[in-house]
């Protein structure tokens, strides 16, 4: 048998030699800047409708865009890898600032491009879209054109964008600054410590309830003391957004988030009601967990508590082999992709100091290669993370020869391939568990995640919609925000908890993100959409590979309803699909309940 040892350190030199001091990379940035300028000039000189050669001109413009966007993404991927592998790399932060500036520049040119698209008459548009090359990009181009037409005139939108920097985005940055100053006092071994928000949050998974409760009490108090500031920021962010919607003549605040995710309101409603209808079993899980922890009912700070089951460990090599082996039960191409990633040093997994926390996947379009970042210490959740990020990689691999315009999937489908890959591996781990304890631990991990996606995220969505509704009428007070949050949690958790977390609206970054509105429901969508696909894959076995890859390829060039209709022959606005997906999670819970009877 061939002995293989995979490197745990990635190869970045293949892109640009010399890390953050790479001269090659500096030259690359200069080249990118020139390409963006080239695209800008072409956009500015285009007068749609002025000649019979419109289709040819538009094709040329799109080529120019790709010539600028590809090296820019290559640069962005490189810089994020540099920053993650060494958080102390100051040079990398400087490079990051340069890339951010170039991205902003390209975005501005794209806005101009979209405006030009929107000035084409319907006849001109129909004629252009007959061109075979443009036809391939019709969905994206029409989407850009319609969105531009739906907004205010170009100069007014440009004014909003520029005012947003110190207004809207400024408030978002103010939140980050305030959170940085929040300290949670905590007594450990008789010594008073001031924990950062991140350090305190980690203690909610502690196995000692006294610790969790003490941290939670201090946590609520600290957010409470600063709640006036956070309420101010939240009200301004929502107010800013609502004002813009108002000026554009949009009366529904869900319009933008739904459009960004290319989905219908009916689909969202069908998803939430399928979840609500199957809450009973989730509540039974929460009650069982309380019993196992020796409690009458769980409180907010018990939700992430570990039941203390035995944890098995896998070396990096074993983890890699386990992933490849289980991927191959579904798809040889997926297994081959993972093998290549391990062999060609696409993964940075070494457990060492100075690395950023968390994990991510990024793609280098000029090289058609992925890079995956994480820290591997041998836990089951590390193996899942690795599979998850490889799933993201496989998604980009499935789309590798598409035009850049047809590769930008929305947030709700972004997690499809990753969740799918992660589910394959975590299901296999549960099946192969050597003891009852191990099985329970792994099952609990899985359930914990699905319950969070269906209950916690639902509470965020309920809170945010109600908050926006009230914000339309005026500023919402701290007390009211607390009430809204608590009510949303009670509803989403089916009243199963003893104590809730009313100040969650202040402590959760996602409510303050300015890049994306309603940073919540796409998570649940992505998870359940992937579970629905997984259910189909289980039915069909190995032969599903090609259909799965075809779905991934189309995931950025149609609405989610069209995607599901074409590849799953299902109507997402109806509950059947969602019910089946939720049921897969419910089955895990039933197994857990039976094992802990």
Give me 57's structure tokens: 């001109």
Q: Output 115 or 416, the one with its CB closest to Zn ion.
A: 416
Task: Please state the closest distance from residue 201 (CB atom) to Zn ion, in A.
Answer: 19
- Ramachandran sector of residue 454 (left: φ over 0; alpha: ψ -120 to 50; beta: rest): alpha
Tell me the β-bridge partners of 555. none
Q: Output 22 or 418, the one with its CB closest to Zn ion.
A: 418
Tell me the β-bridge partners of 185. 194
Task: Please state the closest distance from residue 168 (CB atom) to Zn ion, in A.
Answer: 26
Q: Output 62 or 413, the one with its CB closest to Zn ion.
A: 413
Task: Please state the closest distance from residue 369 (CB atom) to Zn ion, in A.
Answer: 18
Q: Which residue is nearest to Zn ion (CB)?
A: 418
Q: Are the CB atoms for 420 and 391 separated by under 8 Å?
A: yes
Distances (CA, A) of 493 to 143, 293, 522: 37, 18, 19
Q: Output 157 or 422, the one with its CB closest to Zn ion.
A: 422
Q: Output 85 or 418, the one with its CB closest to Zn ion.
A: 418
What 3-state class would DSSP assign to 363? strand
Task: Please state the closest distance from residue 388 (CB atom) to Zn ion, in A.
Answer: 6
Binding site for Zn ion (CB under 5 A): 418
Q: Output 272 or 420, the one with its CB closest to Zn ion.
A: 420
Q: List Cβ<8 Å contacts ≥24 apart for 184-187.
A: 184/215, 184/218, 184/219, 184/222, 185/218, 185/222, 186/214, 186/215, 186/218, 187/214
Q: Are the CB atoms for 571 and 577 separated by under 8 Å?
A: yes
Task: Please state the closest distance from residue 343 (CB atom) to Zn ion, in A.
Answer: 23
Task: Please state the closest distance from residue 321 (CB atom) to Zn ion, in A.
Answer: 23
C-alpha span between 526 and 529 (Å, rounded): 5
Task: Please state the closest distance from residue 418 (CB atom) to Zn ion, in A.
Answer: 4
Distances (CA, A) of 212 to 80, 134, 298, 445: 34, 57, 12, 19
Note the helical H segments in 249-348.
255-260, 265-277, 279-292, 316-330, 332-343
Q: Output 331 or 418, the one with its CB closest to Zn ion.
A: 418
Task: Please state the closest distance from residue 83 (CB atom) to Zn ion, in A.
Answer: 18
Q: Output 362 or 369, the one with its CB closest to Zn ion.
A: 362
């Amino acid at each position: 048998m061939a002995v293989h040892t995979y490197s745990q350190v990635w190869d970045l030199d293949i892109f640009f030699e010399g890390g953050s001091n790479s001269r090659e990379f500096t030259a690359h940035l200069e080249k990118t800047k020139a390409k963006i300028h080239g695209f800008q000039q072409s956009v500015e000189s285009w007068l749609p409708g002025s000649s019979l050669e419109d289709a040819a001109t538009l094709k040329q413009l799109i080529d120019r865009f790709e010539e600028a966007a590809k090296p820019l993404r290559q640069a962005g991927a490189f810089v994020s890898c540099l920053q993650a592998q060494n958080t102390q790399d100051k040079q990398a932060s400087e490079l990051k600032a340069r890339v951010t500036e170039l991205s902003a520049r390209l975005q501005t040119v794209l806005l101009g491009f979209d405006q030009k698209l929107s000035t084409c008459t319907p006849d001109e548009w129909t004629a252009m879209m007959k061109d075979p090359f443009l036809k391939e990009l019709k969905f994206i181009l029409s989407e850009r054109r319609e969105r531009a037409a739906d907004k205010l005139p170009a100069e007014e939108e440009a004014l909003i964008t520029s005012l947003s920097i110190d207004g809207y985005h400024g408030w978002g940055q103010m939140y980050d600054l305030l959170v940085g100053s929040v300290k949670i006092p905590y007594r450990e071994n008789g010594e008073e410590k001031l924990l950062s928000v991140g350090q305190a949050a980690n203690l909610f998974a502690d196995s000692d309830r006294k610790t969790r409760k003490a941290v939670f009490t201090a946590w609520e108090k600290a957010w409470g003391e600063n709640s006036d500031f956070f309420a101010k920021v939240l009200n301004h962010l929502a107010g800013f957004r609502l004002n813009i919607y108002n000026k554009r003549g949009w009366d529904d605040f869900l319009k933008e988030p739904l459009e960004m995710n290319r989905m219908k309101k009916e689909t969202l409603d069908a998803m939430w009601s399928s979840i609500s209808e199957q809450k009973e079993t989730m509540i039974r899980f929460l009650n069982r967990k309380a019993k196992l922890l020796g409690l009458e009912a769980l409180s907010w700070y018990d939700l992430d508590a570990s039941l203390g089951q035995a944890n098995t460990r896998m070396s990096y090599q074993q983890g890699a082999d386990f992933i490849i082996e289980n991927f191959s039960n579904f798809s040889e191409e997926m297994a081959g992709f993972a093998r290549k990633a391990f062999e060609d040093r696409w993964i940075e997994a070494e457990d060492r100091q100075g690395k950023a926390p968390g994990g991510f996947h990024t793609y280098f379009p000029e090289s058609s290669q992925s890079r995956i970042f994480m820290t591997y210490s041998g836990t089951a959740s590390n193996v899942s993370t690795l599979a998850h990020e490889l799933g993201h990689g496989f998604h980009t691999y499935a789309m590798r020869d598409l035009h850049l315009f047809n590769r930008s999937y929305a947030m709700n489908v972004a997690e499809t391939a990753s969740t799918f890959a992660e589910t394959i591996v975590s299901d296999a781990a549960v099946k192969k568990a050597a003891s009852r304890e191990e099985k329970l631990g792994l099952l609990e991990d899985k359930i914990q995640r699905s319950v969070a996606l269906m209950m916690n995220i639902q509470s965020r969505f309920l809170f945010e919609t109600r908050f926006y509704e009230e914000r339309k009428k005026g500023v919402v007070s701290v007390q009211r925000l607390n009430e809204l949050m608590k009510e949303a949690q009670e509803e989403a958790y089916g009243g199963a908890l003893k104590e809730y977390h009313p100040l969650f609206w202040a402590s959760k970054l996602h409510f303050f993100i300015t890049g994306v509105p309603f940073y919540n429901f796409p998570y649940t969508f992505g998870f359940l959409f992937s579970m629905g696909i997984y259910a189909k894959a289980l039915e069909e076995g190995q032969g599903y590979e090609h259909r799965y890859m075809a779905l991934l390829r189309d995931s950025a060039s149609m609405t989610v309803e069209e995607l599901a209709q074409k590849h799953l022959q299902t109507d997402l606005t109806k509950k059947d699909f969602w019910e089946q997906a939720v049921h897969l999670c419910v089955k895990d819970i039933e197994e857990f309940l039976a094992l802990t009877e």
